[in-house]
Each structure stands twice: as structure tokens, then as C-alpha cells.
Structure 1
Amino acid sequence: MPNRLFRSLFAATLSAALLLTPLSAATAAPARIKDIVDFEGVRENQLVGYGLVVGLNGTGDSLNNSPFTKQSLQSMLERLGVNTAGENVRTANVAAVMVTANLRPFATQGSRMDVSVAALGDSDSLQGGTLLVTPLLGADGEVYAIAQGPVLINGFKAEGDAATVISGVPTTGRISSGALIEREIEFHLGSQSSLRLALRNPDLTTARRIALAVNDFIGVPTAVPEDPATVRLTLPRGFNGNIVDLLTDIEQLIVQTDQPAKIVIDENSGIIVMGKDVRVSSVAVAQSNLTVTIAENPTVVQPAPLSLGVTAEQPSTDLNVNESATALEVIEESVTLQQLVDGLNALGISPRDLIAILQSIKAAGALQAEIEVL
């Protein structure tokens, strides 16, 4: 009876899905060119620096366990004219931190940007601290910005004699507009005669559609797809403007994007994300449930009258194993993954069991899609 009910429910669910969902691929999602490509040379640059946060209320680094904090503190004081050589410096209000930032493209000298601050030593919290002047260096070792200011954190730590409460991460923070840009990265976009468009999701069909849309709009062969991730854009002769004007004209064009059949699985959280073009060939699927129940029912044993024995507890365990067998169910040709998932969900299969079934179908060669496990 359970097997007959399983087959009936599964067949009914798949039949309803087949009636409600078309088998043909859905129309590709339209998107603007500016939302699916990056322009060559228009990019951020990562900056990093090492600094000190002062003004902490006893939550800073312990100088004995963080010698780099002690050395940095003494070096800073010596630069300010305070001689601490040979002195035993004791303070819990200073913390060594790493400062990071992203230098936005075409940022000009004198403008400001946000920075992130993270504790490097054994500091408990950066709450109430102030970052001292910290040079921010690029990958070439040059200083591109100077950071300084009060640190704002999203977490807190409250501690008593017998309990501690921590919310968020109190050892990381952010300084809004906390860095002043001192050096610009030279790149003259307007003087370029040729530029590459880099697709954020490489695909041959999408690259060709971008080139066709640009050429149809301009009226002359201007864009050429070089590979799945690159479209070469050349400034046409007689164009009234530079490459910036051309990019402004084409970035609002709508293109029908395409994507490969792909399934992304996060096994830690049980999340499954699938593409619209995933297909399943004819395959038989069976899934059995194994349930193990363990119950502890200890009993009390009393000693005999007038004996010297004591009351004791005798353990007693009830162990039951229940395995519900399931017959093979045939999935017909051209059934989409969405229809398969709808059918399995109607049977109460958990996400982790569903992940195992999808991987087994892929191993059997019946799943026409790439599976990526995070």
C-alpha cells in the first residue's frame, strides 16, 4: 500500500507539473549591456595598511602577547618626541589593526573613501577607538591614501564575573570617508581608440548578441566577439565623439542574455540553485528512509528487606530500526529539473536528500547540467 501511494502521488505531481510548465526553454532574461560587462581599465584597486587604534577602554592588545603592538607604540611615541627606550610600557588601550580599502576608478586627489579596520592582536573590542594616521599602500608599494578617524563597530561585548555576551564582531569596524586620497591612478579612457568589454558571466551566445546589438545600433562593424568573455569595441571612423561617448551610447542597449545549464549546491546550508535550461533524461529513482529510534527507560532496583544493599538504577534501552522501502519511479524524457524537484518536494523529501538524488542522477549520466558544489 505505501509503495502504491508513493507511485500515485509522484505520477500525479509530475503530470500536474507537465501541464503547468512548458517543456521549451524560457525566454532569456533581458539586461542592459552596462549591467553584464566590465569596461577595460575601469576597475577598483585594493589598498592595505597597518596602524594603531587608541582610546580603547581596557579592551586593547596585551603588550606581552602582542610584541608588534608594543614595538609600533614605542616607534610612534619616539617620532612624536617621547622617549620610551628601556621603559616597561603597560597599557590596554591600544590595538594593532589592519586597514583595507578599495580605491574606486578615476578617484581624484583630495577626495575621500571608506576604510575597513580589523584587529590584528588579541584585542577584545575596538569600540570607542580612534585610528591614528595610517598610510594605505597599493600592490606596487606606493602610498595612495591616508586613513584616520573614529572607528564604528557593529558588535559589542558585555562581560561580568560569571557570564559574557558578544553580539556581532566587535574586533572589526569601519570609518566612513576615513581616508584621504593622495595619489591618482593614471588612465585616460577618452583617448582610447579600442576597448574590450569583459563579460561578468562568460558565454559565447551572450558575447555574440552584444556585438550584434552594438553593430545594429551604430550602423557599422564596431564590435567583434573575441571569445566567450571578451568583446572588442573599436571607435568607428567619422564618429562624432570619443570612446566615452560611444560607451555612453551603447551601455543602455538591451541584450537577451544566455547561460549554460548549471546547478549550484551548498551542502552546508542545503541550498540548491538551478538554471532554467537544466534537463533530465529518462531515469529511474528510488529513495528509502531509514529511521533509528533510541529511547532510554532506566528502572529503579530496590534491595532486599533487611539487607545492606542500596537503591540502584538499572539502565534499559529500547532500540527500533524502521526502514521504509520505496519502489523505483521512472522519470520520463525531457522532464525539466523544476518538474522533478516539484515532484520530490511533494513527497516530503528533505533538501539534503534532494541533493543526494541530484548527484546520483548526474552520476548516472541522466542530468544534462553541470553541478557545482560550494
Structure 2
Amino acid sequence: MNTTDRLIKLLIALAFAAASAALWWPVESRAERIKEVATVQGIRSNQLVGYGLVVGLDGTGDQTTQTPFTTQSLNAMLQQLGINVPSGTTMQPKNVAAVLVTATLPPFAQPGQAIDVNVSSLGNAKSLRGGTLIATPLKGADGQIYGLAQGNMIVGGAGASQGGSKVQVNHLSAGRIPAGATVERSVPTPWMQSTIAQLDIQADDFNTARDVANAINRAKGAGTAEALSGRTVAVKLPEQPGERVAFMADVENLPIQRAIPAAKVIINARTGSIVMNQAVTLGPCAVAHGALSVTINSTPVISQPNALSQGQTVVAEKADIKINSEPGSLIQMPAGTKLTDVVKALNSLGANPQDLLAILQAMKAAGALQAELEVI
């Protein structure tokens, strides 16, 4: 056997090995982490809100004649500072605006830490650009003060007006203050009060809950996690508080294979948007869809009386109603087990998104669409 024959046989053997590997080795799929499908119960953010004043505006503040609460707030603030405004004084400050301040208090936030705040106009201020927020207490749902906001605003817009003409870029009645609030009180969490942590699955899926529990048990030992329902998984925490942070960091980064979700079609009736996931399948069916239009034309008719008849001119309307029904041909749609097949079948109907809303509902009622319809 010469060298050429040996080389040919070697190449054939390598090609056969590569083909065998492609047939028997599983294709590598991207796994999601537990932190992307579940959250720890009790470890959540809290919404804060407050009412305050923005000062230092360049004549673009509230018109106090239409927003009396701005003047009342300004009087109350001046009284707190020891300044008494004589009764009967008409105040029309153009550089002050009443605003609503909102912020999100992250979990485990401690007193003294800074958080971002959003400031939105509450009255009819033309612009908050260049304004400064005066100290504003931020309260939670329980009415307690959890933060104090103050600082210079950042408004991502610009505008100018003169002689009835106006040019505006982006929105001028809302802004943001980075690190504009200081946390004054922390929110207690059940993190250190129990040896059991509960993971809340984002989607109601028993398969995902089981996969999360199995992944934790494989990494941390049997019996560490237990799936209680399609949305909750109980996890045993270490006895030592110092070990819990490292334990949960490992748990959150454990990979799991995301199961195929339930077949679902999301329909937005207001915009005509239709979104379906990869699990949607279509059974064989036949669809005929025609366009029905109703046109109503109204023409005024004037009835003029004869001369010297002492009659009155009467105006009436003549309505012309036309109903047009375009024929729709019967189209046979084959069964589709893949999302691409379903999309091709629906596109073959030639219907617009508004027509597809009615077609999909009819397919679901006829049993040809194997998916759950959800209207948002």
C-alpha cells in the first residue's frame, strides 16, 4: 500500500469520526442561571414618594393663579424658616415649581447611602431646567420617612419660545438627580431571621421549579432544596450567618436548562401587535376571510317654500348607505409543528394584523390553534 492510499484511508476515517461525533454528541445549549429565573422572597426594593419644591427656574415655574398649592407650599416652607409673609400678600413667583419626587429604595440599603431620584412637575411649569430641589422627605407605603432628597436637577431637553413660536427638544417637565437622596432608615428583611430561604420563580412552571431544586441539590447536597409549587422553592441556609452570602452567591449562579414554555399567543388589541412563542403549533384547517365595509354618506337637502306662502325653510339630510363585502377565498392551511410553519401559514392569508386578531380567535375556538390566547 502506497502513501497515497494510506492518506485517503486516514481522511475517510477522520470524516467518519467527525460524522459520528455530530450524531452522538449533544449540541451545546446556553443554560440560564437561577438568578435569571427566580428571586429570593423578602429581598425586594421599595418605592418612595415625596412632595417638594424646585427653585431657581428662569421664569418657567408654575403660574400660581392656576396652581394655588404652589403658593401654599412656598408659604409653609418660609414659615418653617422663620419668615412670616403678611396676610393678604399676593405672591406670584415664576421661579418656583411644585414637583413630585419618586425613588426606589434597594434591598439592604443602609442609612447614609445615596440613591437616585426622579423629579416630575405637578403643576403647569414650562420647564424644570436649571432648577434645584429643596430638601424633600421621601416616604414609603407605611407613611414613614426613609430618605431625604435635595440637589440640582438634570433635564435632558431644551426649549425656546419667542413671539408665539416655540421650539422644544425632548421633555422639559421631568428630570433626574443622580445620588440625590440620602437613606435615613433601612427596611428590615427576613434574611437573618430564618434558616429557610424561599426562591420565587418568575413564571408559574412546575418543570422550572423542579430543575431549580435539582440543580441546588446536585451542587449543595441532597435535601438542600425542595420544590413546593410551580412558583416556590425552599432552600436550607447555613447555620452561620457569615456563610449565607457565599452560599446564596453560589446558588444564584448555578446553571439550569430552561424548559420549553407553554404555547402562548399574546395579542394587543389596541396596537394590533401579535407575538407568539416557539411552542405554538397549528393543526390542519381551512380559513376564508373577507373584508366587510360600511359607508355612510350624508347630504344636506334644503326645502325652500314658495313665494308669499309664509312657509319656513327646512334643512334635512339624505343618507346614502352602502355595504361592500369582498369575497374571501377558502385557503387550506396545513399542520405546522414549528413556529416558522405557523408564520408562513398565517402570511399566506394576506390579512393585516387587525384581521389576524379575529382569525386567531376563530382558530382557537375551532381547535386548530394549540396555544393559549392572552389579550393585553
Pick from 226, 229, 237: which aligns with 1:227? 229
Residue 15 of structure 1 is matched in structure 2 by: none
Residue 246 of structure 1 is matched in structure 2 by: 247
Residue 309 of structure 2 is matched in structure 1 by: none
CA–CA distance in structure 2, aligned partners of residues 286 and 158 of structure 1 = 56
CA–CA distance in structure 1, aligned partners of residues 53 and 201 of structure 2 = 40
Percent identity, aligned pairs only, is 43
Alignment map for 1:98-177 (pairs within 5 Å) = 98-177=100-179
Runs of at least 5 residues in structure 2 that lack an aligned partner in the other structure = 1-26, 296-320
Is the 1:100–1:116 Cα contact (8 Å) retained in structure 2? yes
Alignment map for 1:1-374 (pairs within 5 Å) = 30-86=31-87, 87-187=89-189, 189-190=191-192, 192-235=194-237, 242-258=243-259, 259-289=261-291, 325-345=327-347, 348-374=350-376
Deviations 1:267-293 (A, max 9, x none): 333322211111222221122356899
Amino acid at match of 1:54: V
Is the 2:334–2:345 Cα contact (8 Å) retained in structure 1? no
Deviations 1:185-210 (A, max 9, x none): 23363563101000112211101111
Residues 343 and 160 (structure 1), Cα distance of their counterparts in 2 relative to 1, 3 Å cut: farther
Alignment TM-score, normalising by the size of structure 2: 0.78
Is the 2:128–2:155 Cα contact (8 Å) retained in structure 1? yes
Q: Give the CA deviation at 1:167.
A: 3.2
Amino acid at match of 1:121: G
Residues 38 and 166 (structure 1), Cα distance of their counterparts in 2 relative to 1, 3 Å cut: same
CA–CA distance in structure 2, aligned partners of residues 80 and 350 of structure 1 = 64
Residues 268 and 157 (structure 1), Cα distance of their counterparts in 2 relative to 1, 3 Å cut: farther
What secondary structure, in the 3-state scheme, does the structure 2 residue paired with 1:231 have?
A: strand
CA–CA distance in structure 2, aligned partners of residues 200 and 27 of structure 1 = 25
* Greater Cα shift, 148-157 or 205-214: 148-157
CA–CA distance in structure 2, aligned partners of residues 282 and 179 of structure 1 = 60
Runs of at least 5 residues in structure 1 that lack an aligned partner in the other structure = 1-25, 294-318
CA–CA distance in structure 2, aligned partners of residues 193 and 220 of structure 1 = 17
Is the 1:28–1:257 Cα contact (8 Å) retained in structure 2? no
Amino acid at match of 2:104: N
CA–CA distance in structure 2, aligned partners of residues 177 and 103 of structure 1 = 12
Q: Whose Rg is larger?
A: 2
Alignment TM-score, normalising by the size of structure 1: 0.78
CA–CA distance in structure 2, aligned partners of residues 169 and 240 of structure 1 = 48
Give me the CA root mean square deviation.
2.9
Q: Give the CA deviation at 1:220.
A: 1.6
